[in-house]
Amino acid sequence: MKIKIIILSMIFLTTIGLFTSYGLAQTKTIHSSLTLPLASGITVSVSRVDPQGTREPSDDIWSADWMGDLDFGPLQTVSGVIGGKKWVALLGKYYYALDIGLSGGVADYTKTVNVKGTNFIHPAGSNGLKKKGVITAVVEYFINFPDQEGAKIIGKETFDDGISISFADTVITGGGKTYAGWPRFYIGLATKDPEATVPDPVDAEVFTPADPAGDYACDILVTYF
């Protein structure tokens, strides 16, 4: 199961010099300026994350600068009992993090970035990754750079619905402080875990042994507008 990514896509300082000539104090003002342009586009950095089969983020293994497809396999069989009924699901071994950066300047707070699935391929009789793939949107920020990182949850949607983050939402305030964050999108398979930090959407579906055999694929579309 493979997925590829498509990307569409005054400060014034015054210095005063003071010198003495023939016993007389004189001043001279030298002007300095800097202009910060708005960003002309975005960059996308991909990390593959191995949760090692646990729900504890602290033991996740991150592989930054991932250059390959977003391959969730091999799927792992997980089972349990809820309300006296046994359930079986096929869960992905990996999930992925897409960190959105800016190119050419600073954040334009009127802009938004959207991530969704497109060009779906799956066997007949299945919704495929349209409903079995989920995207979690968060704003990451440093509370104490570079050691302590915080996160603001925006939401979670299926691949076919997609989800957006406005750059206006990347400014985080709290405790009398303001933090500048950046958009991050987690790409993974639905689990329908009732204890998940961010529950799956109501219409999300898990892979099960009842799903038809075959290829499941799509593209992940990242749009900056």
Please tell me whether residue 154 adopts helix, strand or coil conformation: strand
Which pLDDT value is given to residue 132? 97
Of 90, 92, 188, which is closest to residue 133 (Cα–Cα)? 188
Q: 104 near 41, Cβ under 8 Å?
A: yes
Residue type, position 135, single letter: I
The residue with greater pLDDT, 145 or 158, is 158
- Cα gap 10→154, rounded to integer Å: 32
pTM of the model: 0.84
Instruction: Tell me the pLDDT tens digit for each residue of 6-64.
Output: 666 533 333 434 444 456 889 999 999 999 999 999 999 999 999 877 777 778 898 99
The residue with greater pLDDT, 218 or 147, is 218
Could you report how far apart the first and last alpha carbons of the chain are, in Å?
Answer: 29
Domain chopping of the chain, boundaries: 3-9+38-224
Which pLDDT value is given to residue 87? 84
Q: 164 near 137, Cβ under 8 Å?
A: yes
- Cα gap 183→166, rounded to integer Å: 8
Please tell me whether residue 169 adopts helix, strand or coil conformation: helix
Q: 206 near 90, Cβ under 8 Å?
A: yes
